[in-house]
Amino acid sequence: IMKREAFLKVVSKDSIEDFLRFTQIPKNTFDPFDLNELLQELPRKQKEVLWERLTHLLTQILMENPVEKWQRTEDDENNDDMEVEITPEMKQTVAVIQGVTAVVIASIPVVDENVNYKALLECAFILNGILPALPEAETILQDAIQRICELWWEKGLEGKEQLGKTAFIILLRKSLNKAGADIVRLWNLHQTLLCFDYDLEESNVVKDLLLQCFMSIKHIKKEEGRRFLSFLFGWNVNFIKMIHGTLMFLVAWKKMSEETLEILEHNCIQDFMHHGIHLPRNSSVHSKVREMLSYFHKQSKVRQGVEEMLYRLYQPILWRALKARNSEVRSNAAFLFVDAFPIRDPHFNTEEMDNEIQKQFEELFVSFNVFVKCSLGYFSPF
């Protein structure tokens, strides 16, 4: 209780050094103070007081050392002709913001419907607002504010849309440049994309980054990455057209190395084929996958290289699916076959092509009947 009371008192501009001692205490066995534990034990009224004092402290420190001043310091640091040290005031400002951020992160799990967290929301919004202005060197603080945005979205608190959008864009950029762990975190926030208005200019940056994901081997190779790519088809019908154009550009015009193109074909396009056959028709993703494959089928008639790719990728899965025991699988496979007909290798000689087309005509007749009867419910699943 004494620690609790002492901490509440130091959340003030008049006690900055003490505040920093509390929020920067090394985690060791000799110091019993634990910020997370303290927040869990605080009564509702004291939480509200803490968050009000926290927001007031952050506001005061930013008024004394405004963002515009940081940006001037950053510009000076980037000037090769000058050696500029970060001022003590700036160091203290960053330290206080780090302390505030640590308290906000510890506070989010203890927010519930019985507590008024308006002041905490204001504090989170202020941190979100200053994030783009932070010096590039302050990566730990940047990551901590990003974490606030993620946790706020995951908790489903008021204002989650704005904070979630910030976290989404940051993770989107990181997923293109860094390790696969960011792709998993991005997938966990994928619903945040629906908070972006497709038609607003601010969404153009998001569109560009999302299209780059379709050219990223990291996304294509990772399960959460492929889920994310499939989800993107549900954002906006006009974006689907942009995706089509990007994939066709990559495949038809060979804008990738052979190894990369092979990964794209087997881990992405063939994966779409598999889902087009095996996903239930009532799945929200199924119609988007089918639309994507239908676009490839149409392009095979006009884009060099697409016809041969379809023939090669469908070979291991389509013909087996047409004879599957499950009626919905047969129906899905039949739809794709009818839509893609004829599926052929343009490198066949005349005799091979005639034989292949004849075989497919016979299969087409059976598949069309299967599709119609399955659609009408005449076939049992076995």
DSSP per residue over 297-364, as a string?
HHHTTTSTTHHHHHHHHHTTTHHHHTT-SSHHHHHHHHHHHHHH-S---TT--HHHHHHHHHHHHHHH
Which two structure tokens, joined as six digits, stand for 129?
Answer: 């607002």
> Is 120's pLDDT higher than 90?
yes
Whole-angstrom distance, CA of residue 102 vs CA of residue 94: 12
> Is 80's pLDDT higher than 80?
no
The answer to whether the beta carbons of residues 149 and 164 sit under 8 Å apart is yes
What is this structure's pTM?
0.70
Whole-angstrom distance, CA of residue 138 vs CA of residue 132: 11
> Is 380's pLDDT higher than 50?
no
> Is 231's pLDDT higher than 90?
no
Q: Give the pLDDT score at 152.
A: 97
Whole-angstrom distance, CA of residue 270 vs CA of residue 292: 12
Whole-angstrom distance, CA of residue 283 vs CA of residue 278: 10
| Dihedral over alpha carbons 95, 145, 66, 118 (to 10 degrees) | -110
Q: CB under 8 Å, gap of 24 or more: what pairs does 370-374 form?
A: 370/322, 370/330, 370/331, 370/334, 371/331, 371/334, 371/335, 371/338, 374/327, 374/328, 374/330, 374/331, 374/334
> Is 47's pLDDT higher than 70?
yes
What's the mean pLDDT when you consider all of the chain? 82
Q: Give the pLDDT score at 340.
A: 85
Q: Give the pLDDT score at 125.
A: 97
